[in-house]
Amino acid sequence: MAAAFAMAAAGVAAAEAPYRLLGQTAPDFALKATSGTNFRLSEHRGEVVLLTFWSSRCGQCGAQLASLSRLVDTYRSAGLGALAVSVDDDPVAAARYAIAHPVSYPVLLDPDKEIARTYRVDNLPMLLLIDRSGVIRHVHRDYRSGDEKAFLERIKPLLDE
């Protein structure tokens, strides 16, 4: 019980912690997707990008991935894209999870956690909203059902820019 309380408290602290990369240009990277294709973030300049860091062992990550998939399906034509970066040590486990829970955007593999370190990921899932010019505009840690509405409130103004 005490451990669960400590974890919940840590989660709240992380959710409220300031994010140092906010307002800065998102660092560029290239990663291999579970499909075998390579993706580079800078090639999505001009789109609003949802960049999420997740793991197959994280309870809420699957729900967030599905939620983002619905958003991307709806707003793709308006210029919304997404990249999900798995920080699993075992890329096979991440690929297996991605196959079992298909999403409409690329699932990328970062087994060395090099990109996660660059982005100072301190919580899973962690969602970054990147505007059309490549600047990190919002950060959202954790996921609870109903967060989709909050995402949308932040995404829409970025799509209108």
Partner 1 sequence: MKLRNSLFSLLLTAACVLAGMPASAADSAAPAMAEVVTTADAAPDTRALDEEVQAIKKDVVDLNRDLFILEEELLFPANTQVAVFLSMDVGDFFALDTVELRVDDKQVAKHLYTPREAEALLKGGVQRLYLGNLRVGGHELVALFTGKGPQGQDYSRGAQVKFEKSVGAKYLELKISDRQNKRQPEFLIKDWE
User: Does residue 30 interact with partner 1 by CB under 8 A?
Assistant: yes
Site size toward partner 1, by CB under 8 A: 8
Pick the closer one to partner 1 by CB: 61 or 87.
Answer: 87
- Segment lying near partner 1 (by CB under 8 A), choices 38-46, 66-74, 84-92, 147-155: 38-46
Pick the closer one to partner 1 by CB: 135 or 159.
Answer: 135
- Segment lying near partner 1 (by CB under 8 A), choices 36-44, 50-58, 126-134, 135-143: 36-44
Contact (CB, 8 A) for 22 and 139: yes
Pick the closer one to partner 1 by CB: 37 or 145.
Answer: 37
List C-alpha distances in Å: 44 to 7, 14, 82, 134, 150.
35, 28, 9, 8, 23
What single string gives the DSSP state of each residue in 65-127? HHHHHHHHHHHGGGTEEEEEEE--S-HHHHHHHHHHS--SS-EEE-TT-HHHHHTT--SSSEE
- Segment lying near partner 1 (by CB under 8 A), choices 15-23, 35-43, 69-77, 97-105: 35-43
User: Does residue 124 interact with partner 1 by CB under 8 A?
Assistant: no
User: Does residue 105 interact with partner 1 by CB under 8 A?
Assistant: no
Cβ contacts of 84 within 8 Å, gap of 6 or more: 52, 53, 54, 65, 68, 103, 105, 106, 107, 108
Query: What does the binding site for partner 1 look like in residue numbers (CB under 8 A)?
Result: 30-32, 37-40, 43
